[in-house]
Amino acid sequence: MTNQEAAFSRLAEADYPRWFTNSVVVALFVTAGRVFFDSLAGYALARLRFRGRGALFAAVIAVMAVPGVVLLIPKFLVLNQLGIYDSYAGMIVPLLTDAAGIFIMKQFFESIPVSVEEAARIDGASTFRIFWSVVLPMAKPALITLTILSFQGSWNELPHFIVSRQSPELNTLTSGVASLVSGQLGEGNQYPIKLAAALLMTIPVALVFFAFQRHFVRGGTAGATKG
């Protein structure tokens, strides 16, 4: 057996398939949630007029300036209080929205002409209908950017998964590979296993990036042509 085959065999023994499955489940749910909720919040901040809108947007910007490590202990305490610690819900729900995604969507929605929405409103469309059927399809470049960033961020997330779970069955690729680095599977540095895990961990992110990059370029070119 070659060194490469031995490395992949050890990964299978380390429950790599379960880590991969957990990462896929979490990344898909988080990506879908961020695309939907960040778009809703971005549209509300860009178009709806309500009391405290400026203060709310300032709070979103402030959250972007807070280092993630500062929030780890509060996250742990809140997850315990809600009773979702050490569960898929505890791993997914806190990541369903992010300030950067809201900011990206708000800025893009503000670049869309208001006249498009006014025409739909004259035809009797509701606010959500205008958002879902008129504005959102026009925001394809921003949506694809948010999809790439959300998938990449949730796939590579580690600190949150450290404080939101403790069961080995809920290990994701990042926390599982971290256990390899700490030497959990035995003595020695085990560089072949680490490199094999890192390679397999990188492939899905690279595939998503290159698949959506083509659509992003096309969407950006189309928008520039229309402009």
Residue 122 belongs to what domain range? 3-226
Q: pLDDT above 70 covers what percent of the chain?
A: 81
Distance CA 93, CA 89 (A): 6
Residue 112: partners with Cβ closer than 8 Å, 6 or more residues away = 135, 138, 139
Can you give the pLDDT at residue 216? 55
Band of residue 191 on the pLDDT scale cut at 50, 70, 90: low
Q: Is the predicted pLDDT of residue 198 greater than 60, yes or no?
A: yes
Can you give the pLDDT at residue 13? 55
Mean pLDDT calculated for residue range 163-177: 89
pLDDT tens, position by position, 139-166? 988 998 899 899 999 999 999 999 999 8
pTM of the model: 0.83
Distance CA 119, CA 22 (A): 45
User: Cβ distance 131 to 43 under 8 Å?
Assistant: yes
Distance of CA 19 to the CA centre of its chain: 17
Our count of domains for the chain comes to: 1
Range in 7-11, 123-127, 150-154, 176-180 the model is least confident about? 7-11
Residue type, 225: T
Distance CA 164, CA 153 (A): 16
Mean pLDDT calculated for residue range 195-219: 72
Mean pLDDT over each residue of the chain, to the nearest integer: 83
CATH number at residue 189: 1.10.3720.10
Distance CA 75, CA 90 (A): 9
